[in-house]
Structure 1
Amino acid sequence: MPRSERSPLLLAGLPAASGVAHFVSPRQFDATVPRALPGAPRAWTYGSGVAELALAAGVALPRTRRVASLATVAFFVGVFPANVQMAVDWRHRPAPLRTAALARLPLQVPLVLWARGIAKRGEGRS
């Protein structure tokens, strides 16, 4: 498989794994839902899990890859406040957990750039 085909599939694997995790272990995601959002945190957890699974499928499929990659960029930017909330909430946790929560923040940048790059190249379009 050419490298240009692996990149979108690897990217698709990230929201796919996270989307599944939202249903397998929702409590950890409920805790990251910003308090300013209306409604029950669990609804946001499940909704974002569904969104991640849809994005993963869209990025994996050549026909929808470009649009889904752009939507993935928007999603990564949109969930950034939840990552900030997690970092704030975990500031008093043990060092490894606190470090993991803080590390998520700058990791959003390469994820956004990766998805944007796939969208720009229109990788895998048929």
Structure 2
Amino acid sequence: MTFDRAVPEGRGRRIGRIVLAAAYGLAGVAHLARPGGFVAITPGWVPAPEMVVALTGAAEIAGAVGLMIPALRKAAGIGLALYALCVWPANFHHALDDIALSGVHLSWWYHGPRLAVQPVIIWWALWASGVVNWPFRGDWRH
């Protein structure tokens, strides 16, 4: 896969990138400002969960900024896609172990869609950053 080819920059991709950058930026700030809930859903096999949550918050913010800088956009998209894949186990842990956040147990009406949308978030990072065009322009690369 080469990353130097020009990718069509339509209005939809631009809006999708801005929305994704805003979401990741806000999530990153939340990880840093209120880490308790994120630490609570971190699987037990993850070492130093407080540090990992802080680093993931910083990674989200860096990815959000990178999406907005053309020279860093594709690297940021790949990084955010990998990030979303790597944090998926925390979402499963949260759901399967029914971990309460602030005393609230969330139902499968929350967890089911949340787990199912993770692959969409992974794709969104790749598409919004111009790494892939699929399914809008056929070829999954470009």
Band the TM-score falls in, shorter-chain normalisation: 0.7 to 0.9
Counterparts of 2:79 and 2:95, CA distance in 1: 25
Structure 2 gap ranges (5+): 1-9, 134-142
Matched, 1:116 2:122: no
Deviation at 1:49, TM superposition (A): 0.5
Matched, 1:9 2:18: yes
The structure where helix makes up a greater share of residues is 1
SS at match of 2:81: helix
Taking structure 1 as the reference length, the TM-score comes to: 0.83
SS at match of 1:31: helix
Counterparts of 1:23 and 1:91, CA distance in 2: 20
1:35 equivalent among 19, 44, 56: 44
Counterparts of 2:82 and 2:14, CA distance in 1: 22
8 Å Cα contact 1:90-1:101 kept in structure 2: no
The amino acid of 2:57's aligned partner reads G
Query: What per-residue deviation string (whole Å, max 9, x for no partner) do you get for residues 80-101 of structure 1?
Result: 1111111122278999712323
The amino acid of 1:120's aligned partner reads V
Taking structure 2 as the reference length, the TM-score comes to: 0.74
8 Å Cα contact 1:66-1:120 kept in structure 2: no
Alignment of 1:1-126 (within 5 A): 2-39=11-48, 41-90=49-98, 97-98=106-107, 99-118=109-128, 119-121=131-133
- Greater Rg by CA: 2
User: Stretches of 4+ moved more than 6 A in 1?
Assistant: 91-96
Counterparts of 2:80 and 2:97, CA distance in 1: 25
